[in-house]
Amino acid sequence: VEGKIVERFDCYEGTSAKAKLSKDLYVQGVNFFARKPVYPLEVEGYPDNNLL
């Protein structure tokens, strides 16, 4: 299954959590999308994907 982050949010901006967390952790909210393959063989690199 392939997925990707499509958007990021500074959801903790202005909260006490933001102040407590280490800056280099850089906690943020993300929107993430993924899709379940239609066929078990529909995976990256499988040579016959286009034949399905």
Partner 1 sequence: MAATCPVGFNVQRLRELVRAEYDRVAREPQGNFHFHRGPQYASRMLGYDAEELAAIPDESTASFAGVGNPQRIGPIALGETVLDVGCGAGMDLLLAARRTGSTGRAIGVDITPAMIERAKSAALKAGLWQTIEIRRGTAEELPVESESVDVIISNGVLNLSSDKLQSFGEIYRVLRPGGRLHLADVVVQRELSLAARSDVDLWAA
Residue ranges in contact with partner 1 by CB under 8 A: 1, 3, 5-7, 9-17, 20, 24-39
Nearer to partner 1, 7 or 48 (CB): 7
Residue type, 6: V
Nearer to partner 1, 16 or 51 (CB): 16
34: Cα within 13 Å, side-chain hemisphere: 7
Q: How far is the CB of 17 from partner 1 (least distance, A)?
A: 4
Q: Please tell me the distance from the alpha carbon of residue 36 to that of residue 52, in angstroms, as a whole number.
A: 15
Q: How far is the CB of 44 from partner 1 (least distance, A)?
A: 16
3-class state of residue 42 by DSSP: coil
